[in-house]
Structure formats: C-alpha cells, structure tokens
Structure 1
C-alpha cells in the first residue's frame, strides 16, 4: 500500500478489499501492544479504546463485524427500565449516561430518541408505582436530552396507539429511550478504531494462542477465506467473543474466572401499517418485557428469553418462539397480527454471566472482566448500551501486561465517524438532494446511516449516476450503498451486505432473495468476482434463507438447529471453535 493510500484509508477509517489484503501482511509482520478477538460491539469498542490511548492494536473477527449478537439485538440504546425493579441502580445510571453520550456527542447520526407507551392494566396502584420508577429513571439521566414521562388517560393512550384494544388498558405513560441500527453502529465503531490506527480484519479466525513461558504472547490466525495462517505477536490479548468466551478460554489452555451462558432472543419484523400507532410500546409478560419498536417503515417486536446450548453462530427461531411473540403482542392489539404479516425474523444470543438461577431472564446484565492468565484478559456479560464502559474496563485490565504507562480512556470524547458535521449536513439536506437529483427524504435516510460521510457515499456515483437508483426489490436502499459497503465498510460476502450493512434480510418478505443477484453483481465489480463466484454467493445466500425459513416452522430448538445447519458456510475455512 502506498503512503498516500495508507493515509487516505486511515483518515477515512476505510476497511475495503485492498485494506483487507494489506492488513493480513501487517498482522504477520508487526508486533502489537494489544490484539482484540471478536468483532462485536465490545471488541470493536476495545479496539477503539486502546487505539485512542496510543496503543498499537489489531482487531480480528472470524466472520464479519457484528455477525453475532451485535446485529441481532432489540436495536435499543436504553437504560434498562426493568432493571430498576431488580434494584440494579448502578447499571441503569451507567446505561443512561452512555445513552446520553451517544445521542448528543458520540453518535447523533446513528442513535435517535424513540418513545414508548407503557399501558397500565391495573387501577389504583400501578400508575403511582410505575410513575415512581420512571421518575427515578428520569432523575438518573433519562430525561436530559429527551422528554420526561407523560401520563395519559385511557382515551389519551388510545389516541396515541389506536391499534390497542380499548379493554387492554386503563391508561398509559409515555417515556423515551433511544434506538440504533446495531450492526451499522458496531461497524462504525470498528471503522473509527481503524481511523485511529487499529488494524481491523474480518474473516480472520483465532486457531491457537501463542505462549512465551507462562504468558500469552499473541495468537495464531487463519484466513477464513483461503485457509492461510500467520502468527500475530502481542503483549496482551483481549477475549471479547461474547457467547464464544468459554470456547476461546479452553483454546488458550487456561481456566476461566467466569462462565458465559447463551440466552436466545427472537424478534419478528412486521410492516408499519399493521399496527396503527404514533409510538412504540413496552408490554409486560410473565417472564420479562416485550418491546414493539418503530423501525422506519416497520415494527420490530420482541424478545424471547430462553437458554440456548446448540450452534452459537446460527441460533434458530422456532415456531414456538414466533408464536410466543405473536401471542403476547396480540393480547393487546385490536387487529391481531398473523404469520402472513411477518416480513422478517431474527434470533440472537445474549452472553450472560452464569449465575445461580436457572432462568436466563433473571441473570444480571452486569459485565465482568478477568485477567485469566498473564497476557490474556476476558470480558463478557453486559448490555449493548454499555459497550464503551466494558471496552474501557477491558483495556484497563491489560495495563499490567503492556510495557509503559497507558493513558486513561478518552472514548467519551471521541465521536464516531460521521458524527462531526452531521448536524450541519442535516440543515443542508435539501441542497444535497438537489445536487444529486434525489428526494430530500433519501438524503435524510442516508444521513441517519452515514452521517457526515454521506457526501463520500454519494461521490461514488459521480461517474456512475445509475448507482443512485434503488436496489432492485429493496427500495429503501440505493445501489451506491452496496458499492460503499464493499469499498469502505469491509463487506466481503453477499450476506454481509444483505444482512448487516443493510437490513434487507429482515425488512422484506423475500428476505433478500429477490435482491441477491443484482447486489452480488454490484459487489463483483469491487471484489473481482467472476460469473461462477457470483452464482456461488447467490446460491449460498438462498440456501441460508431457505434453511432459516425451514427452521422457523420447527417445534423446538433441536429440530430448528438441524434445519439451519443444512445451509453451507460462506466462509469456507471456518472451523470450531470460532471467535
């Protein structure tokens, strides 16, 4: 890579195809202060934290950025209202502080306020009880940059959410939290780490830990695309692999200080017009809570909370999971949702710290950091909203293994890529729309995905105006976004674009199948694919969707897992355990 190209890549935080090739060389030829394993939000956050402290950092991920838990959440940045009932005040206060940072300073282009109606179903005691909790929530920081709670009569709540049955509530309280596209946010954190010097490489699986006497001295990695291997030397390693923490711990040869349990959460996606409402909703269930989250032209409804002991890479939703979500949301809707209303389904695994209780929904969402061996730190637990705090704690924990004194964390003052200049571009949206011949709503949609990087995305169409047309059968996205996903955002496979760089796989009834070939052809121009490779990518993606659909009509986890396992891995050299 030429110096000019290297400088440009770093300034842009670009992780495109040529950067991917160069980073392999760097992994094998340079020595790092810290290697972070795992490209979820915690690993990406740890890489950013370490890089901005002046450390030399490498981040390796076996599959794709946010390929696991970090693309399959409820898409919320929230304080965790229900944790107040568990008296976990410090966790709620911490989460609300992080939410505020994201909304105002670190990622205002990605994290947005969202309102929820809490329907009251009991007279006399429930309103003051819930109001007291929400007052505490607001006082802890929940009402800094969003409105505080608002009390509604039954008629007022009905006007706000006409879709509710009249007898489903006696009144309601509206409050605010925040939401984000989790996969896009995680990818942006990783790109920001790259911007500050971290080597970020996906399709890079840890297969062995390197030892120097009694300490961990780095990792051996395998390229999940071609099977080649190299050694990555480092003074310290951070295991941020979420539900794979125990597997990586065994691979290191050490004994873990804590265990991680995987809890499956299933969400469904339905069209916005199926639920007539001006706000989201939060509903109590016998086990936990159910969120109805507004998501552009859709609603995301979930989640379930059950133990999962099968394939960690591809958790499967069952018919029972989907029926559970439908049953609970339909209990309050005047017009029930049906299976035919469902556009998308996704299942994710929460990495919960193993506790004494057998019920995953009762396990704490606190995180834990442990120095499990000289040169090796593991972090697990926690919740998406507090990823930055978790990352800082993990980097603090490797301080004793890294030569020299390391600076304190500063990521509370480091805006993510696209944040600086975002507000100015929002004010200029009409001019930008006129310049590119697009409707202003298109520009605003792009601004909420790329922030101040939006002109860089659009610039890819300067010589090819046809790229400003919508993706076939996925009208919410422009073709130029597919090109940018490859050239700047590290997408290497069709599923990376359809599932994570965009959310086509869950936002359209065809689950991305009808867009697969045209998207693959756009990617081919960037990645040098021939006709055979295009056909292979489309075939593997179609097999994935077919396997997921098949799993979603099975009665239990075992049957669903067997159906999902029928789909081939697109990264052919992946093996177990994976990071």
Structure 2
C-alpha cells in the first residue's frame, strides 16, 4: 500500500472519504476496536501491505487505553508469578519504544521501592531487580541502585521515617496512553489504513459458513452500510464477549473486566524526586510522576456493570488514600484530589478467582472462518499482540503473508525528534514561545510540532494558552479537531489533552472555550456547541457524584445516567 502523504491526518474530509471507501472497497482485514491493540493491528497489517480498515464505536482509546497506569513496564510483580517470558517480552517492547519507535512519547521514569524488612527483603528484591535489569530492563535506563534509609529519604522526603529501613531505586518508562494510541492509529492511516471512529459494528456479514465483513452504523448521523473483508479481527478488549455473541459463533476464551481506579494529586503534595512502588496485601500501588502531578493507583476489583463508563466509588478512593497515607509523613486528603479515573483491564478468565492473580498473557484464536479474536495482554505488549492477531488471520487472506515489521516502523513524530530537542531555543524564538513550552509540545507531538504550529501562522492568538487550563495552547485544540480525529468536546478534554484529570475543575471551566475552538474546525452551529458543553458538564457532574457513592452499583447508576456525546450509539443485537 502507498503511504498517505497527509501524515495520517484524521479530519472531516478524511472521515467522509473513509465512509465512501468502507462501502465501496473489499479489505483484507477489518479491525474492530480503536484501543491500542486495534490501532496496533491496523498498523501491523498496513505495513505488511494489506488493505485494512479499523472501525471504533466511540473514540480512539476511549476505553481501557486511556485509563491505564500510563506505564511501559516489564511488570515487576509478574516475576513473582514466575511469568518470565511475559516480563522479557514487555522489557523488549519498552526498549523499542524508548529508543526507536516512540522516543517523543515514551520516557524513562524512576521508582523507589522502600524496604521494610531487615535481612531477607533487600537480597530478595535485589535478585528480582537483577533479573529485571538483565532481561533488558537496564539497556537504555540506569540499573538498580541501593540506598540506605537516609539516602531513600533524601530521594523521597515525603516518606515517614518509620515507613522504611532503606530502599532500591529502579527505572521503568511511561507514556500518555491516549496520545500514544491515537498516534499508533494515525501512523496506520499514514501507511494507508482506513481509520474511522464513531462507527459501530452492529452485525457480521456472512457468506455460507464464513464471516465476510461487518455491518456498520455511523453513530453521528445514523447512516448504515456493509463492509466486505477477507477477515475480521475482534480487538475490543472488555467488549470481546459482546462482539463474540454478535458473530453467532462460540468464543474460545472469556474475558473478565477488572476495575482499576487512579487518583491525580498536585506535585507539591508529595515531596519526592522519584516515583514510588508500594506493596499492598493484593498487588502493588504506584505513585507515578505525571508532569505537575502524581498519579496514585491502582485498585483491582471485579466489574460486571457498564463497560463504557466504569465508575470509581468513595470506597475505591479511600482505599488508595489509606494505602498511600500509610507511608507519607503528610497524608493526602480528599481535597487534594484533582482528578479521578477508572479503567477496565480485559483479563482472560482463568482458574483463579482473584483478578490480581489472572495472567496478563494474551490469547488469540480463529473463532470461525474469517473471524479472529484477541484479548488479554497488557498495554506494553500491544505490538506483539497485534502481530499475533494478523498472523492468526492468515488462513483467510489471499497470497503469502509478509512478516511483521512494526519493530522497524517509528510512530509519526519520532523521526527528527531528537534534533528538534536540541533546537528548542531556536524553535521557541521563531514562534515566540518559551523553550519550556516547546519541550512540552515536542513530548506530545514530536516532529509533527511543525504541523501544529503551522495552524497558528495566520492566527497568532492560537499560541496563547487556554484561559482555565494554561498547560495547553489553543492551537492544540484546533489540531485535535483538524488532524487527530476529535469529534466531541469529551474527546479533546479527556484524551487529546488530559484536562479532565489534571485540573480540579475537570475541564468544566474551559469547556466553552474549547468547544468554540473545535466548532470553527468541525463547522458546529451554536446549538451543537452549546449541546457539547452541556453534555460534558453533565458527564463531570455524574462522575463527581458517583465518586461519593459507597459501592459499584450506586456509582454505576449515577454515571450511566449521564447523556452520551455520540447520539446514535446503540446496544448491538445478537445475530
């Protein structure tokens, strides 16, 4: 397939052209699901020379892939579960992201592991970290470093002196998961994939005993049509079983949803030069540096309610505060919390009844002729999962399938990024921006920063920050709508930016300004702009209310009652 010269732009013109192509072409693969695995599968297939389309009912990364712990990590705790293969694979992927595929998006991050037991704990933990480092964990980041109690407290003065007897510092990596997923999808579009959001699969097309395509429904305007394909890949994560029922064939595996809740607090509430990893009775708790904030998480509980909008409860938030406060000299309070988010992990249903013990290995199966399903896994290994999914579809594809090459395909914005980092002063001077601001833009867009700033050439006012969310420039909102596929206010405030979790107002105070900037690009009449603001405010109010509820059922009832931004979304009917 020929590379798209627009740089993978996902704008209104591309959206209309995508609809035309979906109805008129026959694809090798249709991928269902715009999370990181779906986007990765579309990129894998496109770069093997296949004709591929990806459809997503809501927004890119609108499910699990925008609500993770935002880490690219080997998973230290999987060493204890003796999942050495998973850890080695994940560390290889982390290394690829840091060095070749996405250095603009994925960054090293350090963690302190506080030691609390004398004699046995230091050698035990050191042995685990030595394995971690030697499996590839210390290639482009420093290896473990042992610290006395005084050394650990110098690194993290926020800790109670009684909370540790020493510590070990080690490194992992982190990324803005929603931006990373969106960039993977745009890279797939750049290599010729059709990427279309707000496009819901309502049924499978069959030819005799095989799946030969999907029926789709545009949830913005209600249009429907059929898409013809040699094979369909179900990459819908926690919706895997639901899509499986739609196909009318029996699944080979079941997926359980495990809810993980995170809270976001200001950076000055925890005085530390490093993140923290703490043991809990069930799993581990991370305190992760995130720009001017800390992310504290996560919980790990079964969830059997609304898959689209998992709700955090007061109990979830209290659990996180209680565990982190057990080691902090100055405890965090409810009033310190700027943002809260809840996500669902798609775990393969296994023997263990505890979700924290379920494997993060992934499973892929050809569940019927023309239909492949993939589930499980972890964000870090999305590229491996994608390659496995495309390989599994090969019996349904004509001709010889080329090998996966995504380990050699940098994501959009990676090429030229390092040179631009060295040129921040010149770039800032040219556009009248502080070098700090340019660095922030480079870590979000990489070398696509030129494309972003070009939108302000005739409108210099777009280089001013948003009034109520000054970490972001107005031009970034325009770019989200013109190039990054944002169709609704929620897409921009929750995923293209992270305003919804980084400011105590959760995006409400800048909703009007952001909606008006998007309206210019998307051609919204005033009525639509007002509706978007109203729906977003209702979403935030429902989330705030749900976070005061004692249990999942009460929280879910409140959150699920908030209106949907996508007006035509409907429950799929089983085939």
- So what's the TM-score if we normalise by structure 1? 0.98
Deviation, 1:175, is: 0.0
Equivalent position of 1:393 in the other structure: 388
Find the partner of 2:130 among 135, 147, 150: 135
Q: Do structure 1's residue 345 and structure 2's residue 344 form an aligned pair?
A: no
Equivalent position of 1:108 in the other structure: 103
**Cα distance in structure 2, aligned partners of 1:517 and 1:279:** 36
Q: Do structure 1's residue 258 and structure 2's residue 253 form an aligned pair?
A: yes
Find the partner of 1:206 among 201, 206, 221: 201
Q: Do structure 1's residue 195 and structure 2's residue 190 form an aligned pair?
A: yes
Deviation, 1:577, is: 4.0
**Cα distance in structure 2, aligned partners of 1:554 and 1:472:** 32
Equivalent position of 1:575 in the other structure: 570
**Cα distance in structure 2, aligned partners of 1:37 and 1:566:** 26
**Cα distance in structure 1, aligned partners of 2:573 and 2:58:** 9
Equivalent position of 2:357 in the other structure: 362
Deviation, 1:8, is: 9.7
Equivalent position of 2:431 in the other structure: 436
Deviation, 1:458, is: 0.6
* 2:258 alignment partner, SS class: strand
**Cα distance in structure 2, aligned partners of 1:528 and 1:455:** 24
Deviation, 1:11, is: 3.7
Deviation, 1:227, is: 1.1
Which stretches in structure 2 are left out of the alignment for 5+ residues? none
Equivalent pair of 1:203/1:223 in contact (CA under 8 Å)? yes
**Cα distance in structure 2, aligned partners of 1:148 and 1:434:** 38
Q: Do structure 1's residue 325 and structure 2's residue 320 form an aligned pair?
A: yes
Is the alpha carbon distance of 1:237 and 1:7 closer, same or farther for their aligned partners in structure 2, counting shifts above 3 Å? closer
Find the partner of 1:532 among 527, 550, 554: 527
Equivalent position of 1:94 in the other structure: 89
Q: Do structure 1's residue 456 and structure 2's residue 451 form an aligned pair?
A: yes
Equivalent pair of 2:36/2:61 in contact (CA under 8 Å)? yes
Deviations 1:424-443 (A, max 9, x none): 00011100000000100000
Q: Do structure 1's residue 35 and structure 2's residue 30 form an aligned pair?
A: yes
Deviations 1:527-548 (A, max 9, x none): 1111111100000000000000
* 1:12 alignment partner, SS class: coil
Equivalent pair of 2:2/2:191 in contact (CA under 8 Å)? no
Write out aligned runs for 1:150-161 (5 A). 150-161=145-156
Equivalent pair of 1:192/1:416 in contact (CA under 8 Å)? yes
Deviation, 1:21, is: 1.1
**Cα distance in structure 2, aligned partners of 1:471 and 1:391:** 37
Equivalent pair of 1:244/1:578 in contact (CA under 8 Å)? no
Post-superposition, which runs of at least 4 consecutive aligned residues in structure 1 deviate over 2 A? Answer: 6-11
Equivalent position of 2:309 in the other structure: 314
Equivalent pair of 2:112/2:167 in contact (CA under 8 Å)? yes
Is the alpha carbon distance of 1:577 and 1:269 closer, same or farther for their aligned partners in structure 2, counting shifts above 3 Å? farther
Deviations 1:325-354 (A, max 9, x none): 000000000000000000000000000000
**Cα distance in structure 2, aligned partners of 1:534 and 1:150:** 53
Deviations 1:254-288 (A, max 9, x none): 00000000000000000000000000000000010
CA RMSD of aligned residues (A): 1.2
Find the partner of 1:521 among 516, 521, 526: 516
**Cα distance in structure 1, aligned partners of 2:381 and 2:520:** 38
Deviation, 1:226, is: 1.0
Deviation, 1:7, is: 9.2
Equivalent position of 1:3 in the other structure: none
Q: Do structure 1's residue 470 and structure 2's residue 465 form an aligned pair?
A: yes
* 1:346 alignment partner, SS class: strand
> What is the aligned length?
574
Q: Do structure 1's residue 12 and structure 2's residue 20 form an aligned pair?
A: no
**Cα distance in structure 2, aligned partners of 1:170 and 1:14:** 53
Equivalent pair of 1:206/1:578 in contact (CA under 8 Å)? no
**Cα distance in structure 1, aligned partners of 2:283 and 2:565:** 35
Find the partner of 2:276 among 272, 275, 281: 281
Equivalent position of 2:558 in the other structure: 563
Equivalent position of 1:58 in the other structure: 53
Find the partner of 1:269 among 258, 264, 268: 264
Find the partner of 1:406 among 401, 411, 433: 401
